[in-house]
């Protein structure tokens, strides 16, 4: 029995879904604790590809309990769409397999519209959000004006009254920008219909996770987004609106910190970023190369991810703020062809050597990556199944990650399939 948090150590899309799916075999309960359907987690299991947005990846394993915790922001209509999509692929999401926190905040139609509106208002300073209403929903949560799931599945009359008021206030803002008003009646009705379907899934998930822990069951927390999208530790303001670091798993689930046994940091063997914001090691040639190979397109929005070299400044700080006990390094196979592989050891900002990420976004934008070249391995790793099978230079690359971050590499990804994960 052990409780493990899996987090992304870069800007998201590190391969958390694949690693969570792989670890689920030895877990009993899989919990999402933050983020919303801005997340897109790809899992390839037995040749079939699944992209999970709100539902924990553990749903692909029969007999596992999946939980959407109180820290998640949940779009009820999108969630039902995801449940229906999984059904089409042969996965029946029952209310025995999935429980949703009654305390989870709801992404409403006006949050999605507001997300787009605020992005337009930002002009050239736009964040490049997924337009899934994430920022406005967390904004309302912090402002104490949000709706939680219990509000929707509770008294329909009380809900409809408050909802109509809120829609009106948002429509007043939209009117100033000639945005079509939201139809409170039609959208309110759709939400109440969704509530009827969702009611069997709604639960006090804090009670459930504590009961599971009492029985000695193992919890696996599936992080969403990545450390540099964390609202406190990331490249603010080019971040998402939740705590994506390991600590977010506790606040978002009601599981106290001392119950956590292990933190697994997931990082790609290189770096990617989707959306705006600084990216010191970003490299157009590498981006073009991956896109040409059909890799590195966003799982939620289909946007091209920007790609760059592995950045030890990022990983060093990630190891610190997440308390990474071990690394799962994915996509090592993406580097298979290269004769030489640059890695970023530190930044230079205004002529000074910098080993950890700066706080000010202007410093981040000015940061010059100092690159060191490591020898490539020019060998196909996708068939490797044991650590010792990896070419010596690939192992040296992984050793370097350990040396720079002080955390050991426990797993390596050599392809997108569940079977292409090496346990060290």
Residue nearest to ligand GDP (CB): 413
The verdict on 21 binding ligand GDP (CB under 6 A) reads no
Q: Can you tell me the distance from the alpha carbon of 197 to that of 174, in angstroms, rounded to the nearest whole number?
A: 30
**DSSP assignment letter at 348:** E
Q: Does 10 bind ligand GDP (CB under 6 A)?
A: no
Strands 271-273 and 306-308: antiparallel
Among 71, 109, 188, 275, binds ligand IMO (CB under 6 A): 275
Task: Tell me the three state secondary structure of residue 75.
Answer: coil
Q: Could you tell which of ligand IMO, ligand GDP, Mg ion, none binds residue 134, using a CB distance below 5 to 8 A set by kind?
A: ligand IMO
CB of 42 to Mg ion, least distance (A): 7
The CA distances from residue 62 to 21, 24, 84, 96, in Å, are 12, 10, 17, 11
Distance, CA of 74 to CA of 147 (rounded, Å) = 10
Could you tell me which stretch among 84-92, 254-262, 388-396, 410-418 binds ligand GDP (CB under 6 A)? 410-418
Examine the residue annotation and report whether 41 is marked as an active-site residue of this protein.
Answer: yes
Q: CA–CA separation, 196 vs 190, rounded Å? A: 10
- What 8-state DSSP symbol labels residue 97? T
Whole-number Å distance between alpha carbons of 253 and 307: 32
Least gap, CB of 12 to ligand GDP (angstroms): 6
d(Cα 248, Cα 240) in Å, to the nearest integer? 13
* Contacting ligand IMO within 14-73 (CB under 6 A): 38-41
State the number of binding residues for ligand IMO (CB under 6 A): 24
Q: Does 113 help bind Mg ion (rule: CB under 5 A)?
A: no
Interface positions, 276-315, toward ligand GDP (CB under 6 A): 299
Interface with Mg ion (CB under 5 A), residue from 7, 170, 194, 299: 299
Would you say 42 and 222 are in contact if contact means Cβ atoms under 8 Å apart? no
Exactly one of 4, 13, 106, 313 binds Mg ion (CB under 5 A); that residue is 13
- Rounded to the nearest whole angstrom, what is the least distance from the CB of residue 411 to Mg ion in the complex? 18
DSSP per residue, 12-78: S-SSHHHHHHHHHTT-SEEEE-S--TT--EEEEETTEEEEESSS-GGGGSTT-EEEE-TT-EE-HHH
Q: Return the SS3 of 95.
A: coil
What is the spatial distance between Cα 152 and Cα 158, in angstroms, rounded to a whole number? 9
Least distance CB 13 / Mg ion (angstroms): 4
Residue selected from 36, 40, 146, 188 as contacting ligand GDP according to rule CB under 6 A: 40
Residue 180 CA from chain centroid, whole number: 31
In the annotation, is 210 catalytic? no
Cα Rg of the chain, angstroms:
21
- In 178-261, which ranges are E strands? 202-203, 219-222
Is residue 56 a contact residue for ligand GDP (CB under 6 A)? no
Nearest residue (CB) to Mg ion, 55 versus 299: 299
Does the protein bind ligand IMO through residue 246 (CB under 6 A)? no
Q: Which of 28, 41, 105, 115 is catalytic?
A: 41
Contact between 15 and ligand GDP per CB under 6 A: yes
Binding site partner of 330, from ligand GDP, ligand IMO, Mg ion, none, Cβ cut-off 5-8 A by kind:
ligand GDP
Which residue, 89, 37, 34, is CA-closest to 59?
89
Which residues contact ligand IMO by CB under 6 A? 8, 11-13, 38-41, 127-130, 132, 134-135, 224-226, 229, 240-241, 274-275, 299
> Which residues bind to ligand GDP, rule: CB under 6 A?
8, 12-18, 40-42, 44, 299, 330-331, 333-334, 413-416, 420
* Catalytic (active-site) positions: 13, 41
């Amino acid at each position: 029995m052990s409780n493990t948090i899996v987090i992304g150590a870069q800007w998201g899309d590190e391969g958390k879904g694949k690693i969570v799916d792989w670890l689920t075999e030895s877990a009993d309960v899989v919990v999402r604790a933050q983020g919303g359907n801005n997340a897109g987690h790809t899992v390839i299991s037995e040749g079939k590809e699944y992209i999970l947005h709100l539902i924990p990846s553990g749903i692909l394993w029969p007999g596992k309990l999946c939980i959407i915790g109180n820290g998640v922001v949940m779009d009820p209509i999108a969630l039902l769409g995801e449940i229906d999509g999984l059904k089409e692929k042969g996965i029946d999401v029952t209310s025995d397999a999935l429980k949703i926190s009654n305390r989870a905040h709801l992404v409403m139609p006006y949050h999605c519209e507001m997300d787009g509106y605020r992005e337009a208002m930002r002009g050239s300073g736009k964040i490049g959000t997924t337009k899934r209403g994430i920022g406005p929903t967390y904004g309302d949560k912090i402002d104490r004006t949000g709706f939680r799931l219990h509000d929707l599945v509770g008294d329909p009359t009380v809900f409809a009254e408050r909802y109509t008021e809120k829609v009106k206030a948002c429509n007043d803002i939209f009117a100033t920008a000639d945005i079509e008003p939201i139809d409170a009646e039609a959208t309110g009705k759709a939400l109440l219909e969704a509530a009827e379907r969702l009611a069997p899934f709604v639960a006090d998930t804090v009670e459930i996770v504590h009961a599971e822990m009492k029985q000695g069951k193992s919890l696996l927390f599936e992080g969403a987004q990545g450390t540099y999208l964390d609202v406190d530790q990331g490249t603010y303001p080019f971040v998402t609106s939740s705590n994506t670091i390991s600590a977010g798993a506790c606040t978002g689930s009601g599981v106290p910190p001392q119950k956590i046994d292990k933190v697994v940091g997931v990082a790609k063997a290189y770096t990617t970023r989707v959306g705006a914001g600084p990216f010191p090691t970003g490299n157009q040639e590498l981006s073009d190369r991956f896109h040409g190979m059909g890799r590195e397109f966003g799982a939620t929005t289909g946007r091209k991810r920007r790609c760059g070299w592995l950045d030890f400044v990022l990983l060093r700080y990630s190891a610190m703020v997440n308390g990474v006990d071990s690394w799962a390094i994915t996509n090592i196979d993406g580097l298979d062809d290269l004769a030489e592989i640059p890695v970023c050891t530190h930044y230079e900002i205004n002529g000074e050597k910098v080993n950890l990420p700066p706080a000010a976004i202007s410093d981040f934008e000015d940061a010059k990556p100092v690159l060191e070249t490591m020898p490539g391995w020019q060998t196909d790793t996708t068939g490797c199944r044991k650590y010792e099978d990896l070419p010596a230079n690939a192992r040296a690359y992984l050793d370097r990650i350990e040396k720079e971050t002080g955390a050991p590499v426990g797993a390596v990804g050599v392809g997108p399939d569940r079977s292409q994960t090496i346990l060290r």
